[in-house]
Structure 1
Amino acid sequence: MTGLDTARLTAWLDEQGLGAGAPLAITQLYGGAQNEIYELRRGEHHSVLRIPPATAPAERDRGILREWRITAALDGTDVPHARGIAVCPGPGVLGRAFYLMGHIDGWAPMDHRDGWPEPFEADPADLAYRLVEGVAQLTTVDWRARGLADLGKPDGFHDRQVQRWTGMFARIKGRELDGMDTATAWLNAHRPLDFVPGLMHGDYQWANVMFGHGGPARLAAIVDWEMGTIGDPKLDLAWALKDWPESTDDPGATAGHVGVHGMPGRDRLVARFAEVSGRQVDDFDYYLILARWKLAIVLEQGYQRAGDNPKLRAFGELVPKLMRDAAELAESTGYR
């Protein structure tokens, strides 16, 4: 049982001309943090349905429609993505807005945290390169021509970051965070050397990409676009590399809860992004500080409402480390 109204969904698929007349098979997939995911098969039709949980707040529907809008706009670009198939913008069919995207024939890094699949187990370096090249591909999207000009507010993007997130921290503050004053003051005093607005995923990391089966390494899709906006793609790069070690020689080296031993160190990955995108990275310390500082505040929100939730309570130790790392980098950086 999936909780979906199969009869209503089948009738809607008929209206869309998707597998008309064939029986519908639904399989729930797992891995999405915000939305429910279902695989649909009906005759020759094969897709994935994304929908907010029935109990989710109303803004989740807006997030789903945002995902759909970006997914549809990416068709015809070089960005690896799942093809947009159809959208239901209202609650009339399944009680929430939802959309269908093409099924991705690939694998998720978070399913392989104990070892990469063949042929990457012995040499996973190209997986890391494909990860950062995905951000470089975002910089090539002509977001205005793709109808995304009103998706975000790029003017003043960096000027708003500190104000927005310090305001968030003030609302949920339950303790002092060592280093926050230092990192916040540094961010207030600095800006990137340049700012070229672009399509930004908003949560770019191992958990939100999929790779193609077999070699050579190929990014099959960037997924989960509910936080997408027009902002600064270099912040996506920093988000992916915020805890990436400068050296991956240690067999226990991790980044984003994934083992990265045998992969390039952070500096080499930043250099690859610059090579592929053509953008300068002399100010990358700014982005790393902002990413660590911002994530600390995001996770602190979860920690302050953790209650007996062990996953959220675990943020209690991680948040101070992130904030100290941001402050230490701010104090040591040569970027002015």
Structure 2
Amino acid sequence: MFTDDVEILQFAAGHSNLTYLIRSGQTEVVLRRAPLGPVAAKAHDMGREFRVLCAVHPVFPLAPKPILFCEDDDVIGAPFQIMERRRGIVVDREWPDVYDSTPELVRKVSLSQIQTLAKLHEIDYETTQLGEWVHPEGYLERQVHGWITRYERAKTDEISAADEVKQKLSSHIPVSSAPTIVHNDLKLNNMLLSPDNPGEVVAVVDWEMATVGDPLTDLATTLSYWAQPGDSDAMLHFSGGLEHMRGAATRADMIETYAKFTGRDVSNIRYYQMFATFKVAVICQQIYYRWQRGQTKDERFAELGDVARGLIEYAVDLG
């Protein structure tokens, strides 16, 4: 695969796994490994993500093709996986110069997330290898109690709203619809778009949390990472920048579009939004916990404690 001339470049964006481009001659691949320092139990499991990609790629070609998984820590200091490199435009906090900024194109790009979710949720997971090792029964209940436990393990400062959110989540768990493959982190900057056709998705990346479960948890996760005018600083922390562009879809637009594409009942979506917002808050809290204990030195993480607090306070209002 590689010649003697190997170039390694790190993709700097993101707060989670470390991701590198490896280039040798005409060959380009992507390597992913867990972040440095201690990490939460079961998080950043490269072997699991590799298995997910092996199962999903054949039926959902937007998932990159997996190439190799290595569990030997002695090679680079941690287990890692290698996958094909996909090229495309990443839309994050700024509108890319390569696209016109007409309201029609802005809306098309906004809703590409929902169209991609709908396509993923159409797949019969039982036709894939996932059917051999996932257990979707009781998924939502396990998720709710699991994320509450993760919060307790990573708690630093007292947040009064957290107890109310935990109580609402655990006591009002809705009945789930039929399980589907869920990405669990599908947001605009985890998709690569065609440079020639705004809104055409050419790849979906970051499959580390994918599984089979309640599809509305997936929709709510996408909503929790999407900003709109009037959002708090905490809600804008990861997703702010595009919310004031003419044509940008609102979260209500996205919910309506998902219901239209899939025919699913979304009447309980506020519960799912509350859970998704709490989950993002817990992820922030886990990273902040590691930073506070000196297990990571990235100064970006110093403000995530306040972000977690703001998200939890927003989640209360969704209940």
Report the equivalent of 1:257: 240
Runs (5+) with no aligned partner, structure 1: 1-17, 331-336
Aligned to 1:122: 102
Partner of 1:284: 269
Contact 2:17 2:44 in 1 (8 A): no
> Once the two structures are superposed, what CA deviation does each residue of 1:46-84 show, in whole Å capped at 9, x if it has no partner?
322334467676978972122221222223324512222
- After TM superposition, give the deviation of residue 318 of structure 1 in Å: 2.2
TM-superposed CA distance for 1:303, in Å, is 3.4
What is the letter of the counterpart of residue 314 of structure 2?
D
1:67 partner letter: E
The worse-fitting range, judged by mean Cα deviation, of 270-279 and 218-227 is: 270-279
Cα distance change of structure 1 residues 220 and 136 upon mapping to structure 2, 3 Å threshold: same
1:101 is paired with a residue of what secondary structure?
strand
Letter in 2 for 1:194: S
1:221 pairs with 192, 199, 203, which one?
203
Residue 205 and residue 151 in structure 1: after superposition, are their counterparts in 2 closer, same or farther (change >3 A)? farther
**TM-score scaled by length of structure 2:** 0.81
User: Among residues 136, 147, 161, which one is paired with 1:165 in the alignment?
Assistant: 147
What secondary structure, in the 3-state scheme, does the structure 2 residue paired with 1:179 have? helix
Asked whether the 8 Å contact 1:80–1:134 carries over to 2, the reply is no
Structure 1 or 2: more helix by fraction: 2
Shift of 1:127: 1.0
Kept in 1, the 8 Å contact 2:193–2:202? The answer is: yes
In the other structure, the counterpart of 2:138 is: 156
Change in 2 beyond 3 A, CA 1:324/1:84: same
Q: 1:179 to 1:256 in 2, by over 3 A?
A: same
For 1:233, give the aligned amino acid: P
Count, aligned residues: 306
Correspondence for 1:188: 170
Query: Which residue pairs with 2:300 in the alignment?
Result: 311
Equivalent pair of 2:144/2:169 in contact (CA under 8 Å): yes
CA displacement, residues 238-278 of structure 1 (integer Å, 9 cap, x when unaligned):
112125456689xxx95723423231111111121222233
Within 1, Cα distance between the matches of 2:289 and 2:40?
Answer: 23
Structure showing greater radius of gyration is: 1
Correspondent of 2:216 among 207, 217, 234: 234
CA deviation after TM superposition for structure 1 residue 297, in Å: 2.9
CA shift in 2, pair 1:150/1:119, >3 Å: same
Relative to the length of structure 1, the TM-score reads 0.77
In structure 1, the residue corresponding to 2:130 is in which secondary structure? coil
Q: Give distance in 2, aligned partners of 1:286 and 1:197.
A: 17
CA contact (8 A) 2:109 2:198 kept: no
Shift of 1:91: 4.8
Structure 2 counterpart of 1:28? 9
Give the RMSD, CA atoms, in angstroms: 3.2
- Where do 5+ consecutive residues of structure 2 fail to align? none
Distance of 1:59 and 1:91 partners within structure 2 = 17
Match of 1:322 among 290, 311, 318: 311
Q: Deviations over 1:184-218 (max 9, x none)?
A: 22222323353222222222223322212122421
Q: Which amino acid is the alignment partner of residue 257 of structure 1?
A: G
Q: Is the 8 A contact 1:242 1:292 kept in 2?
A: yes
Distance in 1 (CA, whole Å) between partners of 2:289 and 2:198 is: 44
Superposition deviation, residue 291 in structure 1:
0.9
**Following the alignment from structure 1 to structure 2, what is the Cα–Cα distance between the partners of residues 52 and 174?**
23
Report the 3-state secondary structure (helix = DSSP H, G, I; strand = E; otherwise coil) of the residue aligned with 1:274: helix
CA distance in 1, matches of 2:174, 2:250: 23
C-alpha distance in 2 between matches for 1:207 and 1:323: 23
